[in-house]
Amino acid sequence: MAQNNPPAYIVDNGNPAMNQNNLYNPNPALMYAPQHPSPYAPQSQSNYMQPNHQFNDRPNSGRKEYEAGAYTYNDRNEYPEPNSQNPYPSQVDPQVKRAVEGEKAWKGANCLDCITKLKGEPERQGFVRKVFGILAAQMLMTVGICAIVYAVEEIQDWLQENIWFYFICLGITIALSCGLVCFRKCSRTVPLNYILLFTFTFFESLMVATISSFYEAESVFLAACMALTLFTIMATIAVFTSRKPHTLAMMSYVCFGLSIVAIFFLIFFTNRYIIIIVMVILLIVTCVYVMIDIDLVTEKHGLDLDEYVIGALFLYMDLISLFLIILALTGSRSD
């Protein structure tokens, strides 16, 4: 008589006893051979394999068990003692440990999480840090150039006597700013965007130094402190409040219209009181521009994450405008 063969069991591929040559072996010792789990598997999985049992939840790296605190270590933080019931190490892969701990540290609390519109937005937070870092570098360049002009009297006299150089710098800054804002490739290509931005900053700093050279050093310093304080106040208000996109658009149109009217009055009227009123209006308009540009940097509907150069350019122009307006209102001219 023909002998009936036992059915083929579907078992885990890790069982060395159940391969293609042993499928019809009736020896139960081979059929139920112990399955040794991965060294990083929890203790509950180190049992004997059963037929049709699949280790679907077996970890590959020990990451889940490490995060859940399933691993315990001995005093040396190494392998367990030789007489331990578990012959396999209970220690997670050191690379996985470092990766998980580094990820948790990076996702930890930081100062930007206290801002509602930036909370839980690590990419936008990184964008804000980059923009203000570039802005700080621009301000350092401007302060350095102004300090050199005040320190070297020959440069100061040359800038005051050759006012044509001021208008050349004005034309270059207008061309560079239009190129950065209007052409996306110029503002997003590294290092072209940095080269254009700091070239703009250099010529803008020369213009600021030329204007500042007509005022006393004390007045320039006080105007700079007042401009920085006002910029910080308006930026703080903008960060902790929110506005809708159509509100920002309306504010931009109103500020642009007021700026055109103020420039018209400055060109065609020389009365002292009219100029003071116009400068105050320009100061208010610039403060509103600071809030608009801060929203463009911090809001999701603002600038793209690769337009950090444009964000730094806007904020730099706002801060310089505040400084020049305050200097014109409060500064005393040098003899």
Query: Is the model more confident about 2 or about 135?
Result: 135
pLDDT digits (tens, 9 = 90+) for 272-297: 888 888 888 899 999 999 998 998 88
Compare 24 and 110 and report the one with higher pLDDT: 110
Please give the torsion angle defined by the CA atoms of residues 90, 93, 99 and 101, in that order, rounded to the nearest 10 degrees: 20
- Res 195: pLDDT: 92
201-217 mean pLDDT: 92
DSSP 189-245: STTHHHHHHHHHHHHHHHHHHHHHTTB-HHHHHHHHHHHHHHHHHHHHHHHTS---H
| Model confidence band, residue 144 (pLDDT cutoffs 50, 70, 90) | very high
pLDDT at 304 over 90: no
| Alpha helix stretches (DSSP H) within the chain | 28-31, 63-68, 94-106, 122-151, 153-161, 164-182, 184-188, 192-212, 217-239, 245-268, 272-298, 308-330
For the stretch 147-177, pLDDT in tens is 999 888 899 889 989 889 999 999 999 999 9
Average pLDDT over residues 125-146: 92
Token output for 226: 């007042």
CB-based contact 89:79 (threshold 8 Å): yes
CA distance 324 to 146: 13
Measured distance CA(181)–CA(192) in Å, rounded = 13
**% pLDDT > 90, the chain:** 27
- Residue 135 reports pLDDT greater than 90: yes
For residues 165-203, one letter each, b for 16 or more C-beta atoms within 10 angstroms of the residue's C-beta and e for the rest, the string is: eeeebeebbeebbeebeeeeebbbeeeebeebbbebbbb
Query: Of residues 97 and 61, which shows the higher confidence score?
Result: 97
Residue 140 in tokens:
């350092």
pLDDT of residue 54: 45
Percentage of the chain beyond pLDDT 70 is 65
Q: Taking the CB of residue 6, how many other CB atoms lie within 10 A of it?
A: 12
pLDDT of residue 103: 58
Q: For position 80, what pLDDT does the model report? A: 46
pLDDT digits (tens, 9 = 90+) for 84-127: 454 445 556 666 666 666 655 555 556 766 776 777 677 888 88
User: Measuring CA to CA, how many Å separate 333 from each of 27, 221, 327?
Assistant: 105, 13, 10
d(CA 85, CA 133): 56
Looking at residue 93, what is its pLDDT? 64
Residue 173, CA distances (Å) to 84, 93, 207, 292, 302 in order: 75, 56, 10, 22, 24
Average pLDDT over residues 224-236: 92
Mean local confidence (pLDDT), 202-217: 92
Query: How high is the mean pLDDT of the chain?
Result: 75
- Tokens linked to 202: 């250099």
